[in-house]
Each structure stands twice: as C-alpha cells, then as structure tokens.
Amino acid sequence: MYTQGLDQKGHSTPQSAELEDAAQLEAFMLRVGEEEKIEAKDWMPEAYRRTLVRQISQHAHSEIIGMQPEGNWLTRAPSLKRKAILLAKVQDEAGHGLYLYSAAETLGVSRDQMVADLLSGKAKYSSIFNYPTLTWADIGTVGWLVDGAAIMNQIPLCRCSYGPYARAMVRVCKEESFHQRQGFEIMLELSRGTEDQKAMAQDALNRWWWPALMMFGPGDKDSKHSAQSMAWKIKRFSNDELRQKFIDATVPQAEFLGLRVPDDDLKYNEDTGHYDFGKIDWQEFHDVLAGNGPCNKQRMAKRNKAQDDGAWVREAARAYADKHA
C-alpha cells in the first residue's frame, strides 16, 4: 500500500496555475467529471501532474522497500512450500514497484531521479515498512493486514482518472488479493495450532494492528489536500473512510481466527453499522515518518547497499546496449 499521502501538508498549488489556459482547465475538469481517462500526452494541470508524480513514486518506493521485512524470512520459512509462496509474493512486490515507476515515468520524471530521491532519503515510503518482522507469524500478519490494507486503498485507484496509474492498479490488485489470502492462511494455520503458535499469532497481531491502521494516512481533518485529489478523481474515498472500511472488514476475520484485536475501545455500533475504535497514536506515525521508526535506518542502508552492489549490472547492461547501438 502504499499511498499514505505522506507529505500532503505544506504543498501548495503552483503559482503557474493562473497562467494555465482557463479553457484547457475547464475541458480537463469536464473530462474528469465524465470519467474519461487522462492519458500521458493529454493536457493536465501542473499541480495534478505533480500530485501524481509524488503519489505514484511514493507508492513505487513502498513496494520496493516493502520487500525487505518479508525478504527477511525467505531463508527461514518453515517449509519448502511456504518458502516458494513467500518468494513469489516478494517477487510480485518488485514487479509492482516496476509497473509504478513506469507509470510515473509517463508523467515526465525519470526513474533515475526517483531512485536517487529514495536513496538520499528525500522521497518517502509507507511508514509500515519500518517495523520489524520478528517471528513467522509476522509474515502471516503482514500478508493479512498490510496487503489487506493495500487492497482497501488500491481498489478505488483502479478507477483513478490517470489512465496509466489506473491500469497498473488492476493487475497489482489481483496480486495483492493473493498476498492477503496467503497471509490469512498462515494465520489460520497458526491459530489452529499449538498454544505457542496461537500465542505467536496473537503477539504479531498486537504489534501490527495499530501501524496497519496508520497506513491510511492522517485523519481527514489533517489531510487538507485530500479534497483536491478527490475533485481530480485520483482519490475516491477519504483516509478515514478507507480506514473504517478496513476495520469493518478485518475485525470479523480476527474473530474467525479466535484472535483479539488489541483495542479496548473497539465495539460494533448498531446505529452506524460500523465498528467504533480507539485513538490512533499519531505521534508514533509522525516519528516513524521522520525517520525514527524501529527499522528506518536499516531499510535505507540495505536499499543503498543493494544499489551499490548492482552497479556492475547496470554498467554491463550499458556496455551491451552501446555495443548493439
């Protein structure tokens, strides 16, 4: 998942907006209103383009960094079958990153620039990937909750007004659905296992529940550019709406597993038809985003090392391309 709207605050609309042709803007909004897809070569407001570049590149970075917490368990998966499934899942995430970098490139930003911004720490990625995966149950929980939250967020993006992003999301969502199911299935097996396995599953849920809720980004009142993204039909639901949908869908799944969601205030509200839930610790969210989560430094160091270790591959590919030019 991965579109937390991480730095929506503080970004202003461009000064150049006045200079843009009012007629073009009107035609653009008309097309968006009629659910027509905007394509790479079409006219678009500069702020729309920049919002998409920021959102799609953050999404791509999150897919790539997101390979690390699960990659951590590839060598320790409990069986050959589990290893093969996890390997396929982690490879899918790499693929998601690549589709998304390609989608962002259609907006005129180079992949080299996006990667450089990630490696230098200038670009952000989802806060969730800065938490450690301590036991095998964390792999189940990540699939169940993190990929589950990703689906909740990404299904509406299949209808995003920008064509290349919307089309990339269609395939990504199919794969995320497999990821969520494989995670839930790990949890099901653990929760039907020994007392120790059940305890391991509960412990993982205790640690991941609140960070998973933070994946939807700040509450609506603190996410002031959401309204613009909704008007452009990049976004279809607000952060709080998506978070509520996720909670409503996930709590019955936890009950089915026989696990307790770690929130004393969680209660089904007959009047609203939704679950009421406790307060999210937004200070923790901001601390993690600021680089002070449990694994931020480790994630960035590993990504930078991978880039350095791969230098010879890029060099060889360039030499090969030159030779055939």
Query: Distance (Å, rounded) from C-alpha 276 to C-alpha 218?
Result: 17
- 93 interacts with Fe ion by CB under 5 A: yes
Q: What SS3 state is found at 36?
A: coil
Closest by Cα among 231, 196, 208, 2 to 97: 2
Tell me if 10 sits within 8 A of 54, measured CB to CB: no
Query: Distance (Å, rounded) from C-alpha 56 to C-alpha 33?
Result: 22
Closest by Cα among 215, 200, 291, 289 to 246: 215
Rounded to the nearest 5 degrees, what angle is found at the Cα of 65, between the Cα atoms of 61 and 68? 165
**Of the two residues 147 and 263, which places its CB atom closer to Fe ion in the complex?**
147
Q: State in angstroms the smallest separation of the CB of 171 from Fe ion.
A: 10
**Of the two residues 96 and 243, which places its CB atom closer to Fe ion in the complex?**
96
Q: State in angstroms the smallest separation of the CB of 2 from Fe ion.
A: 7
**Of the two residues 128 and 201, which places its CB atom closer to Fe ion in the complex?**
128
| End-to-end Cα distance, the chain | 39
Query: Distance (Å, rounded) from C-alpha 143 to C-alpha 170?
Result: 19
Closest by Cα among 125, 124, 101 to 113: 101
**Of the two residues 86 and 288, which places its CB atom closer to Fe ion in the complex?**
86
Q: State in angstroms the smallest separation of the CB of 93 from Fe ion.
A: 5
Residues numbered 30-69 forming contacts with Fe ion, rule: CB under 5 A: 63
Choice from 179, 207, 245, 303 touching Fe ion (CB under 5 A): 179
Residues numbered 186-245 forming contacts with Fe ion, rule: CB under 5 A: none
**Of the two residues 176 and 263, which places its CB atom closer to Fe ion in the complex?**
176
Q: How many chain residues bind Fe ion (CB under 5 A)?
A: 6
The phi, psi pair for 6, rounded to 5°, reads: -65, -40
Query: Distance (Å, rounded) from C-alpha 6 to C-alpha 251?
Result: 26
Q: State in angstroms the smallest separation of the CB of 63 from Fe ion.
A: 5
Q: What SS3 state is found at 38?
A: strand
Q: Which stretch binds Fe ion (CB under 5 A): 172-180, 209-217, 271-279, 284-292?
A: 172-180
Closest by Cα among 158, 180, 177 to 169: 158
**Of the two residues 76 and 174, which places its CB atom closer to Fe ion in the complex?**
174
Q: State in angstroms the smallest separation of the CB of 36 from Fe ion.
A: 27
Run of H or E residues at 275: strand 274-276
Q: State in angstroms the smallest separation of the CB of 102 from Fe ion.
A: 15
Residues numbered 96-155 forming contacts with Fe ion, rule: CB under 5 A: 96, 147
**Of the two residues 177 and 304, which places its CB atom closer to Fe ion in the complex?**
177
Q: State in angstroms the smallest separation of the CB of 151 from Fe ion.
A: 9
Q: State in angstroms the smallest separation of the CB of 176 from Fe ion.
A: 5
**Of the two residues 225 and 245, which places its CB atom closer to Fe ion in the complex?**
245
Query: Distance (Å, rounded) from C-alpha 310 to C-alpha 300?
Result: 15
**Of the two residues 48 and 136, which places its CB atom closer to Fe ion in the complex?**
136
Q: What SS3 state is found at 269?
A: strand
Rounded to the nearest 5 degrees, what angle is found at the Cα of 105, between the Cα atoms of 99 and 110? 120
Q: Which stretch binds Fe ion (CB under 5 A): 30-38, 43-51, 173-181, 302-310?
A: 173-181
Q: Which residue ranges make up the site for Fe ion (CB under 5 A)?
A: 63, 93, 96, 147, 176, 179
